[in-house]
Chain A
Amino acid sequence: MRNKKLVDYSKYGYIFAIPFMLTFLIFTLYPVLYTFVIGFTDLKGAGNTEWHFLPSVGKNLFQNFKEVLTSQTFHKAFRNTWIIWIMNFIPQIGFALLFTAWFTDRRSKVKGQGLFKILFYMPNIITAATIAILFTKLFGYPKGAVNDLLNSLAALFGKTRDNYDYQNNEWPVKIVVAFIQFFQWYGHTMVNLIAGVIGISPEIFEAAEIDGANRVQTFFKITIPCIRQIMLFVLVTSLIGGLNMFDIPQLYIGTRANNAALTTNMYIKNQAFAGSYMYNRSAAASVILFIIIVALSSILFYILRDKDEAKLKKLRKQELRAARKGL
């Protein structure tokens, strides 16, 4: 800054950052550390706040972590979370890419795409809790809109069908939960990807067109490599969100259907705020989840950074080669 020597303004940087810092220390950092500590204690029981470290009550320090890691229910919750996330993410990114390709295509300008975008994005702002319960009713048995719809479709073809209970078997429950996640998020992903494509310089597309590349070639060889960053951003945020999945499975089915859609976050909540109020075990589980998320995001960020550096190196080499040729 030019006036730096006249007046030192740097102290305002600290002053203006104080509210954020204080709030973060009190409401995030302290609770996180507290959660870590509780994971090593005997804290349980509704309304209890007194705790002792496990060794002082004659137990292994890692008892809670051991219990969580060997618990069948936790294993199931962990598996479910991944299965549901994958079943939602693959079609989500697939359809988002498809619509992105269609809506950004320069040759066939799709009319009404503004309206489609707005409609596809809408479920994302609606309360997840509401959407989950709405789907509980729509997939209801014996009476529900989906059963009614399929019955009338069957009647169109002169057939009859029996009502199906979607909420009683493991796979239908998982599939519907994954579908609701998909329903809420594909529009969001699509809008992100479209923004990425619009950001690509039009000259690249023009050049491809002149070179005679068809639509499919242009999309796979130019569009996708150019929006790789945004796709990774979508992947990382979706993964973190997916591993924290709670509202939809909790309210769509809860622990019914033999824990068919129990997620790790539901497990954490149920351990601490239901049954015997095992705050310690719940804390241990959330620390485990935290470690997994940090590890996964670090790996993804590492891959992302590495590739960029590789790309830069490649570019530099090309430039060097070009320079040499020019000489």
Chain B
Amino acid sequence: MSDNTIKMSSIKKNETWLKVVIYIVSIFFSLMTLFPFVMMIANSFKSTYEIQQSTLTLWSAHPFQNLAKNWHIINSKDFHPFTGFLNSFIVATCSTILNVYFSALTAYAITAYEWKLRDAFNGMIIAIMMIPSTVTTIGFYQMVYKLGLVNKLSMLIIPSIAAPMTVFFMRQYLQASLSMEIVQSARIDGAGEFRIFNQIVVPLMKPAIATQAIFAYVGSWNNLFMPLILLTDKDKKTLPVMVSLLNGDIYKKEYGSVYLGLLITVLPLIVVYAFLSRYIVEGVALGGVKS
């Protein structure tokens, strides 16, 4: 009996120690994650002089005056947050809509119909996922250049009609959730195939569409490689391309405004994440398991 209680209490002690370690490490990682962002926000409100004294202080003597000054500096040079914001917004919104709609359509084509080339097509989609974007770059640039379509945002939007990853995920979802009976009964009611897709299948796929839309949006919003190559006109630059200007010599001594510029680019993402984080994290989990 007493032997047992000693054993139990030692297990309990170990349990407590383990928990302490878990919390210490988790909190350390949380701080590590937050540190860069806290620095970014705090330093946006500071003057160059204050930052030179110390980057770490979290409060400034004249926060809003400094913020206004940093904002002024940033706008007086090549960095135009609103232009970048608008361009990114156009590209991300349009390409997300095309991406999820046509991916849903393609996934439906694979799941609901029996056609001869279906399996070949399905296999092809999985193979395409392996093609690294780099190998398309030079050919794509030459093609676009020849057609005189450099600096056209549409060249970043239209390709998202063919998004193999999204198709793959949506096919998984449809296979699990589409019942052909509903489709059949709609057919009996005389609905055309296209109408069935738009009015029955799309609403049915809402959860999958929502998750994929978030990832498509974030992916498009953050994309740097292609826009950096295609967009040379300063009125056409998207936010990540605009951000890369902050690394240039023109902002070398303007510490505060660089931090402010960075903050502006991530603010929409942080706001979106604050509201949708639960769904996003769940969505990642879903994508990983299914793949």
Contacts and interface: CB of A to CB of B under 8 A. Distances in A.
B68 interface: no
Given A108-B19, A119-B30, A38 B158 contact: no
Interface stretch (B59-67, B70-78, B202-210, B240-248): B240-248
Interface residues of B, number: 95
Contacts of B136: 27-28, 31-32, 35
B36 interface: yes
Given A121-B284, A134-B40, A47 B145 contact: yes
Contacts of A183: 32-33
Nearest to B29: A120
A113 B128 CA distance: 37
B115 A10 contact: yes
A192 B284 contact: yes
A83 to B, nearest CB: 19
Nearest to A131: B36
Contacts of B284: 121, 188, 191-192, 195
A179 B127 CA distance: 31
Given A38-B142, A119-B33, A134-B36, A269 B281 contact: no
Given A19-B105, A279-B142, A28 B255 contact: no
A13 B285 CA distance: 30
Which has the most chain B C-beta neighbours within 10 Å: A28, A118, A282? A28
Nearest to B160: A23
Interface string B29-60: 11011111001100000000001101110000
Contacts of B134: 244, 265, 268, 286, 289-290
A83 B35 CA distance: 26
Determine chain A's interface SS by DSSP, over half rule.
Answer: helix
B291 interface: yes
Given A3-B187, A126-B266, A49 B131 contact: no
A16 B118 CA distance: 12
Contacts of B191: none
A137 interface: yes
A242 B157 CA distance: 25
B193 A192 contact: no
B240 A121 contact: no
Contacts of A196: 288-289
12 contacts: A14-B117, A23-B102, A27-B158, A34-B140, A102-B22, A118-B281, A121-B280, A127-B269, A191-B285, A192-B284, A195-B286, A250-B244
